[in-house]
Structure 1
Amino acid sequence: MILPLIGYIKIGLPPVIIVGGSAILALFLWYFIYLKRPVEPKVMLPLFVFTVAGLQIHIIEEYLSGFGPAMSRLFNIPWSERSFLMVFALVGPTIYTLTTWGLYKKIPLAGFVACFIFIGPGVAEFTHFIFPLISPQLEPGNISSISREIKGVHIDAMPNYYYKTTGEYYFAGMYTAILPMIPGIYAICRLIRKRSDRP
């Protein structure tokens, strides 16, 4: 309850809905499939590693195309480039590295993190294909990048990816969004199928 509240205060509601919704679904997947009978590392580890590898490539595109500032412009939220890098390029990989060890040792918390990654990047990345259709809350008709202070945080170079303004169907990170989706969705299907095969 505390983490979503902090996320809402620091970033805003839309990212909290996407991440929080993924976390709730991950909790169900983890509870019913992993918690009582952890999946063998030979099954779980490759699924997790491939999903994270796809996610990291995707994050490179997000960084290069200004995902954090683009989200700031889209939803009028303070998501700076620095906070994007801190979470997705520094803290995230540290958690993923520890999770691989935890999956090897069948530690329950690691199973939850893996389920979250399968559902978050595995399913929720489809939102990249919706974002170009949403009118930005900040200057939707202005095709140029803008800089502005949002809730006390200065956000530089917020690009506009609104399809009606740019004429191009694209949003930051959209081209590589499918990379974590393929192994993530496959992992969910594989885990559900594995549970149904159990006596």
Structure 2
Amino acid sequence: MINIKPQTGITVPPGKRLKLISEHNGGFVILISHEGLSGRAVFILSVIIFWLLMIMAWAFMLAQYGVAWSLLSLPFWALGIITLLAFLKMIRLHQSVEIKGGKVLIQKTYSGVTSYADLNVKEITSVSMVEGTYKTLAGISRKGVYPAFITKGEAYGIGELCSREEKQWLVNTLKSVLE
């Protein structure tokens, strides 16, 4: 995998998460937009809100016996709020892969913090699906399969939260471009 092929006829799969931006100097960028409030995200958010409402009702019932008793609900409040904050961070996660001039730049922005990985195209041995751990919308670490650049024995993952079809499109497109 040494040369970057010119991008002819690459089409983005259906859906609104992946965007392909071609540049005039032979490079291109794949943008993986944030999840937003999808059906899955709305369900998770409703479960978190239900949890917090039940803890509020429980704390109110305990407060009738004394304010000290309502302190028993503090760990459950903390769990609900931490889960809500992790969820809000995950729905704003967005990524990009830029291939230009013999370099691959992977950027992931999570909660306002951007992580970078700058890879040399000549050092990339393959682009394939790997199994690993990543964070879900609920903020829970989960094992799964996602696309990754393999270089020097390390895997640099992208598109962890994409659908199966989008992940396969990423692998196929990046393989064809980097061959």
Query: TM-score w.r.t. structure 2 length?
Result: 0.30
Higher strand share: 2
Larger radius of gyration: 2
Higher helix share: 1
Query: TM-score w.r.t. structure 1 length?
Result: 0.28
Relative contact order higher in (CA < 8 Å, ≥ 6 apart): 1
